[in-house]
């Protein structure tokens, strides 16, 4: 996991890993900021942490070389970006193709980049959410594996949206990582397959009601299938 700040998604994955059906193990938490509060979640869970600060390196290439060498060293098979506030270079993206995912707080391809909640409000949108996508060289534009949706309510502010969306983001990231860890997702160039079936649109995770946390497999060839 790569993070720059709070680390609530890291905490969600740590908690999720404690369950018998987790299918994954966290092998390291890495940050570009020494003071990233989220690192303490990893320390408390005995997960190795390391900090690589770009300013200690002569250029981005040497920074990322050191970072990803450390990621390799802990035996990571999947790298999760959650609140990692840097753009990964095309070279590192290529080296980790199909093994690098990001959680982004919007229904991609809508609202790539920053300030997504404020922008959806400004546009008067009534649907918002979060996406887990594979990282490509274009910012927030890689193939989307799974999304969660929330309605925008009258009177919402960026803060109320963030508060309502965050638990859904946690459920989303957990579900996506589990699916990948179970070996059910493949990426062939930009084409995603789940259980061998081409994904025509992102899987949708229910975040409320009785099916909370269940992947609604409506976007696969066999829409009646559920997990």
- Catalytically active residues are 104
Tell me how far apart the alpha carbons of residues 22 and 178 are, in angstroms, rounded to a whole number: 6
Single out the segment in contact with ligand GRF by CB under 6 A; choices: 2-10, 39-47, 70-78, 147-155: 2-10
Per-residue contact track with ligand GRF, 182 to 211, x per CB under 6 A?
A: ------------------------------
Helix (H) or strand (E) holding 111: none
Two tokens at 94? 């290529």
Least distance in angstroms from the C-beta of 221 to ligand GRF:
29
Q: What angle do CA 193, 195, 200 make, to 5 degrees?
A: 35
Helix (H) or strand (E) holding 2: strand 2-3
* Torsions phi, psi for 187 (to 5 deg): -120, 120
Single out the segment in contact with ligand GRF by CB under 6 A; choices: 6-14, 21-29, 58-66, 206-214: 6-14
Per-residue contact track with ligand GRF, 147 to 186, x per CB under 6 A?
A: ----------------------x-----------------
Least distance in angstroms from the C-beta of 103 to ligand GRF:
4
Residues in 80-119 at the binding interface with ligand GRF, rule: CB under 6 A:
82-83, 103-105
Least distance in angstroms from the C-beta of 7 to ligand GRF:
5
* Torsions phi, psi for 155 (to 5 deg): 85, 0
Beta-ladder partners of 129:
149
Helix (H) or strand (E) holding 34: none
Give the residue at shortest CB distance from ligand GRF.
Answer: 83
Q: Which residues fall within 8 angstroms of residue 33, CB to CB, at 6 or more apart?
A: 4, 5, 51, 53
- Cβ distance to ligand GRF smaller for residue 83 or 180: 83
Positions touching ligand GRF (CB under 6 A) are 3, 5-9, 38, 82-83, 103-105, 130, 169
């Amino acid at each position: 996991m790569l993070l720059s700040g709070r680390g609530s998604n890291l905490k969600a994955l740590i908690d999720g890993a404690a369950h018998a059906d987790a299918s994954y193990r966290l092998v390291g938490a890495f940050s570009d900021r020494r003071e990233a509060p989220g690192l303490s979640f990893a320390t408390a869970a005995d997960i190795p942490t390391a900090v690589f600060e770009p300013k200690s390196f002569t250029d981005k290439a040497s920074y990322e070389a050191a970072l990803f060498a450390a990621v390799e060293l802990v035996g990571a098979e999947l790298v999760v970006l959650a609140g990692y506030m840097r753009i990964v270079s095309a070279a590192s993206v290529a080296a980790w193709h199909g093994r690098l995912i990001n959680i982004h707080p919007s229904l991609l391809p809508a609202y790539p980049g920053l300030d997504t909640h404020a922008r959806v409000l400004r546009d008067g949108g009534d649907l918002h959410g979060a996406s887990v996508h594979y990282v490509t060289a274009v910012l927030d534009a890689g193939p989307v594996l799974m999304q969660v949706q929330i309605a925008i309510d009258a009177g919402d502010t960026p803060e109320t949206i963030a508060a309502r969306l965050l638990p859904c983001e946690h459920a989303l990231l957990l579900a996506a990582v589990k699916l990948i860890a179970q070996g059910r997702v493949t990426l062939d160039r930009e084409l995603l397959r789940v259980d061998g079936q081409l994904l025509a649109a992102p899987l949708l995770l229910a975040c409320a009601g009785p099916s909370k946390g269940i992947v609604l497999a409506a976007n696969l060839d066999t829409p009646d299938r559920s997990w």
